[in-house]
Amino acid sequence: MSPKIDIDFTLNGIRKNATVRIDMSALDMLRDVIGLTGTKYGCGEGECGACTIQMDGVSVNACLLFAVDCQGRNVVTVEGLAADPRAAALRAAFVKHGAVQCGFCTPGMVMQASHLLDTHPDADPDAIKRGIEGNICRCTGYKKIVEAIASVSQIQNQE
């Protein structure tokens, strides 16, 4: 059994302390230690994007990070976007455009879309396709996802 260590970090705007194994992934910490299950385990290899979180404003795969990498950092999960107006607009657009089917990829897609619109607020469909290329959806074929994100980008740029 691996040794454990205490880490302190900010999670969704709240200071957190967690005791984690030194070999534990950030994904396992979020789900199993803290109890936030919105971040999904998909491939465990950083290929599918189901575990997308934001760390210090950068979109990352939680399955590729050790929990100890969160020490002193600012981590945002899909649960942390609950009060974010743009995330609410993204969720509504995903529903309106039929961009969800099984829903498994949706938290990672919303996290990535939120990051994309933070860094490229005027993203066109081509930029959106590039921006979500690390997030895999097995159900929708991406067209409706791109349309949903583009609709939020257009609304955001009209304001």
Per-residue pLDDT of 77-99, as tens digits, reads 999 999 898 899 999 999 999 99
Q: Tell me, what's the pLDDT at 27?
A: 98
Stretch(es) of the chain classified as CATH 3.10.20.30: 4-78
Stretch(es) of the chain classified as CATH 1.10.150.120: 84-158
CATH classification for the domain delimited by 84-158, as one of 1.50.40.10, 1.20.1530.20, 2.40.110.10, 1.10.150.120 = 1.10.150.120
Q: How far apart are CA 52 and CA 108, in angstroms?
A: 5
pLDDT score of 20 more than 90: yes
Mean residue pLDDT across the chain: 94
Whole-structure pTM value:
0.93
53-82 confidence digits (pLDDT tens) = 999 999 999 999 999 999 999 999 999 999
**Residue 53: how many CB atoms within 10 A of its CB?**
29
- The owner of tokens 């609950």 is 82
58-95 residues labelled b (16+ CB within 10 A) or e (exposed)? ebbbbbebbbbbbeebebbbbbbbeeeebbebbbebbe
> Which class is domain 4-78?
alpha beta
83-142 confidence digits (pLDDT tens) = 898 899 999 999 999 999 898 999 999 999 999 999 999 999 999 999 999 999 988 789
